[in-house]
Chains A and B, each alone.
Chain A
């Protein structure tokens, strides 16, 4: 009995402390600068060194595209034609817990612009491996904290699927980001399974 009352008292104290909000923080996302520290000189230098090699590779690829060799010209002839057109968004019909199938990569790619963006939402490279598989809808976001907790964005026709975490590769550092954020999916990229 004592244990339960102690626990209840602790929980009440905790709730009271959080409700005070005198700390000015809202969640872990907004206190990111307190959790981590900036890189020191040696770490920055090390990260620059790690970035040099892929940067050289990128330059070489760009030059190759500008001045294609004989072997590359053949591959350029293959033109991918996508006749897929996205259907009406099924955002209204989707609910939390529904099973959805992610469309194939070629179908999703046809919706993207030159920058790989569809209706202000980018399709990242690590999302490609989830195509053609079925997943559960975890959440249908409406309001989202953004820009380190300084901005609130309103979402439309966006869905979060269960267990599809970002692996953080391709971020600013060589090791990538370890935050494990969940990917956002446009409803046009999904098909509901009845």
Chain B
């Protein structure tokens, strides 16, 4: 019975995490760089999500929510991963400058933003 209750508690995709949902098309403001910096650990990460150098220029701006990220596809292990409190904003795409040891990466991945880095208008 304990095991069953543990498994049930792991079911995160059926329960609300308590944080406000970000719907598609909603306008949000990215917090200032100083505020975001407070949420980061020594590895420059917030719950595993790295805040990249090139993301700093978007701080303080208003942007549209494209999608709330719940499922990720990890290409190396070819597995689907679950994640929470992550949002993709419209037209904010990685420029990939200097990522490949001097060369630029042109993959143009959209940036992932933690909900704690965003403020609702």
Q: Which residues of A contact B (CB under 8 A)?
A: 6-7, 10-11, 14-15, 17-18, 23, 25-29, 31-43, 47, 138-150, 152, 155, 160, 162-163, 165, 168, 171-173, 175-182
Contacts and interface: CB of A to CB of B under 8 A. Distances in A.
Contact of A143 (B34, B93, B106, B111): B106
B7 interface: yes
Contacts of A6: 34
Given A27-B50, A160-B108, A182-B108, 20 more contacts: A7-B33, A7-B34, A10-B33, A10-B37, A25-B50, A28-B49, A28-B94, A31-B45, A32-B74, A35-B81, A36-B83, A37-B81, A40-B7, A40-B11, A143-B105, A144-B106, A148-B75, A165-B110, A178-B67, A178-B72
A23 B80 CA distance: 24
A32 B71 CA distance: 11
A182 B104 CA distance: 17
B44 A23 contact: yes
A168 to B, nearest CB: 7
Contacts of A178: 67-72, 88
A124 to B, nearest CB: 13
Given A26-B99, A34-B48, A178-B67, A146 B75 contact: yes
Interface string B43-78: 111011110110010000000001111111111110
B83 A41 contact: no
B11 A43 contact: yes
Contacts, number: 171
Interface residues of B, number: 54
Across the A-B interface, the 9 shortest Cβ-Cβ residue pairs:
A36-B81, A148-B76, A141-B106, A34-B48, A36-B83, A178-B69, A177-B73, A36-B72, A148-B75
A14 B91 contact: no
A41 B111 CA distance: 30
- Chain A interface main SS type: mixed
Contacts of A34: 45, 48-50
Contact of B74 (A33, A141, A175, A182): A33
A107 to B, nearest CB: 25
Nearest to A31: B50
Nearest to B106: A141
Nearest to A41: B7
B55 to A, nearest CB: 9
Interface in B79-121: 79-83, 86, 88, 90-91, 93-94, 96, 99-100, 103-112
Interface string B1-34: 0000001101101000000000000000000011
A74 to B, nearest CB: 40
